[in-house]
Structure 1
């Protein structure tokens, strides 16, 4: 028998509250958006005079005459960007090859100097 009584005596938990009697839980998404005002429409913004809207996880220019011109310009810029990336890769490859050749030549020179000393 413990000296100070039972040290572990958990209290009973209070009974849970009853579930909501509201029928809002039973509404489907579109109905609840209309009823509760949760639908705000497509997010849009104006950036440097160009109207953009958010569709399928991407910002897309709104259709119009200026939008077509911008798409063509963007396509040209993407093509130019790809050309520059390819040129950059070629230059980096050339630089690496040149450095390798210089190191190879230097190594051969050091080997020949080392052989002369022997």
Structure 2
């Protein structure tokens, strides 16, 4: 059996291109095509380790499983923390205002005491 160096003895058949039937838009009507390829893709969901999370408003939110209740609790605690922080800032501001008022009242009181002493001294000299 002679071997040919330049002959093409092995020529496999070309494989047909793979087609995903769900992604082929040739056999879809307009409503199915709009549903499959339309601009409304819906929420992005991810299932991992028995829990499902969904991307909403720039944050990943747990949908089901053990993480769902804890996420809601975490969000509630964050909101409560923010409210308490705002209240704390307001109370600090009020304390600063009250301390300023106290300092002003103390200064006025000392001024009046000194003025009263001077007037008593003047009255005592005249007698």
TM-score (norm 1): 0.45
Based on CA coordinates, which of the two structures has the bigger radius of gyration? 2
